[in-house]
Structure 1
Amino acid sequence: MESLFIPTLVVALAEIGDKTQLLALLLAARYRRPWPIIWGIVVATLANHLAAGAVGSWVARELSEETLSWILAAAFGAMALWTLVPDKLEDDETRRVRRFGPFMATLVAFFLAEMGDKTQVATVMLAAQYPDFLMVILGTTLGMLVANVPVVLAGNFAADRLPLALIRRIAAAAFAALALYAIYQALKLSGMLA
């Protein structure tokens, strides 16, 4: 269950205030049809995170557990800092997909917006850390849905009232705690801690 729960939590935290969450809000306001948008998010996230998870699994096979722990610690530390920076959604991304219906617009826009994004990087790290590949992918996809479906369903109402700066700081603190735990694990593996 850890291979499902931790990826769900990590991606849900990383997604708060992310450009794909802003994209979900924009698509919800534009199309006013939540279900095609939600299904577009599901399909795009599964495709993107399957690729990211495959990279993470490959990295896990190629590196020692100690090296992987140090990389994980650095990545979680970087995620903590990255989470503090609010994302902006480029207008070009949204303008190009408006001519499609809500499902295709969401599918294309979400897939492209996730490339190199925090949640894709998190998926690579989590797939490298946990051996149950499918549970990690399901968890990261579920985390994406936990963060984005309420935005799609609530539209502008929820986005205007959420204290995003506070939520970003809490998410950054959670990533910093994960980085410290990964450092502890790396030190233990290296024999520096008993």
Structure 2
Amino acid sequence: MEEVEEKLEGGQGKTSVRRFFSRFCTPIFLESFILTFLAEWGDRSQIATIALATHKNAVGVAVGATIGHTICTSVAVIGGSMLASKISQRTVATVGGLLFLGFSLSSYFYPPL
């Protein structure tokens, strides 16, 4: 009888874990995680963090980098939601695309020294 009760309790634990992950890992969560992860992979801030961790306390660097990135991303999310209430997403995408084209032309004609 005890074995059956343990199996039932174990099954409920697995179900609650699945329920937690199904609520937590929503499509928008997965999309934002993957896009942010891929966008940040190998950028200058990551290279600078790697360099800093080689010379300083790695745990302190990890905590500082995590908090800094969290604050920066939170400001971007809040600013983006405020901007979305006033301007269409298409306008934001068009302006962003034009800015990146302008940056690329600028770096082509005026290369860094």
- TM-score, normalised to structure 1, is 0.34
* Equivalent residue number for residue 78 of structure 2: 54
Structure 2 spans left out of the alignment, 5+ residues: 1-25, 108-113
After superposing on structure 2, the runs of 4+ consecutive aligned residues of structure 1 that deviate more than 2 Å are 69-79
Number of equivalenced pairs: 78
Show structure 1 runs of 5+ residues with no match.
Answer: 86-194
Q: Distance in 1 between matches of 2:49 and 2:66?
A: 12
Percent of aligned pairs with the same residue? 18
State which of 90, 95, 112 in structure 2 corresponds to 1:69: 90
Larger-Rg structure: 2
Q: How many angstroms apart in 2 are the aligned matches of 1:76 and 1:41?
A: 28
1:28 is matched with 53
The amino acid of 2:51's aligned partner reads L
Q: Which residue of 1 aligns with 2:3?
A: none
Larger RCO of the pair (alpha carbons < 8 Å, separation 6+): 1
**CA RMSD for the aligned pairs?**
2.7
- TM-score, scaled to structure 2: 0.55
1:1-194 equivalences under 5 Å are: 1-31=26-56, 33-64=57-88, 68-72=89-93, 75=96, 78=100
Q: Structure 2 vs 1, CA of residues 73 and 16 (structure 1 numbering), >3 Å: closer, same or farther?
A: farther
Quick one: structure 1 residues 72 and 6, their matched pair in 2 at CA, closer, same or farther if it must change by over 3 Å?
farther
